[in-house]
């Protein structure tokens, strides 16, 4: 019951952040705090996906020094990760550094930060993937249950990612 109460409180905090000024960072920061408390992570990022141009852009990071907001990254549509997460809108969990190396071109940078597992949560609206919420931590940190919880938080990112386009 304590887990449920903590999850509800975290979701309430993220939902309340959506009404605050300073969007989209206000909601992303609240989401970073809430997912750290309910799922756990050492790095939290948000990517905005552009399916027409076939690229992603990091628009939020919990560690701007080590893993800053950056320019566009091309999507390799032939890669199974892109098919799963960006085309089909299904979460992906990588449990080991080998999984990270399989999925991420910048895996060496991630490993150098001591991160060995990742969870990518697609943010979907109207049948389209708008972007991803990404949590990284030590090897073996994330479980399938983490993705179920994480997708609830990812759904709360929809207005923030849509607002990116309006700015």
Whether residue 70 has pLDDT greater than 90: no
Q: Percentage of residues in the chain with pLDDT exceeding 90?
A: 90
Q: Domain map of the chain by residue range?
A: 2-166
The token pair that represents 87 in the structure block: 């085309």
Q: What is the mean pLDDT of residues 110-116?
A: 96
CATH architecture of residue range(s) 2-166: 2-Layer Sandwich (3.30)
- How many other CB atoms are found less than 10 A from the CB of residue 1? 5
Q: Mean pLDDT, the chain, as a whole number?
A: 94
Whether residue 71 has pLDDT greater than 90: no
d(CA 147, CA 93): 8
Please list the helix, strand and coil fractions of the chain in percent, rounded to the nearest 5, in that order: 45, 25, 35
């Amino acid at each position: 019951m304590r887990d449920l109460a903590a999850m509800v409180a975290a979701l309430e905090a993220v939902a309340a952040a959506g009404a605050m000024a300073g969007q989209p960072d206000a909601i992303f920061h609240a989401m970073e705090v809430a997912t750290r408390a309910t799922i756990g992570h050492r790095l939290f990022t948000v990517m905005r996906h552009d399916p027409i141009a076939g690229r992603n852009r990091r628009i939020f990071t919990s560690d701007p020094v080590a893993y800053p907001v950056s320019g566009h990254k091309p999507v390799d549509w032939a890669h199974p990760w892109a098919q799963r997460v960006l085309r089909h809108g299904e979460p992906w969990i990588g449990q080991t550094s080998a999984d990270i190396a399989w999925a991420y071109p910048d895996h060496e940078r991630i490993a150098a930060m001591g991160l060995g597992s990742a969870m990518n949560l697609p943010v979907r609206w109207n049948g389209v993937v708008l972007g991803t919420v990404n949590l990284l931590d030590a090897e073996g940190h994330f479980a399938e249950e983490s993705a179920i919880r994480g997708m609830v938080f990812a759904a709360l990112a929809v207005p923030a990612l849509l607002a990116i386009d309006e700015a």
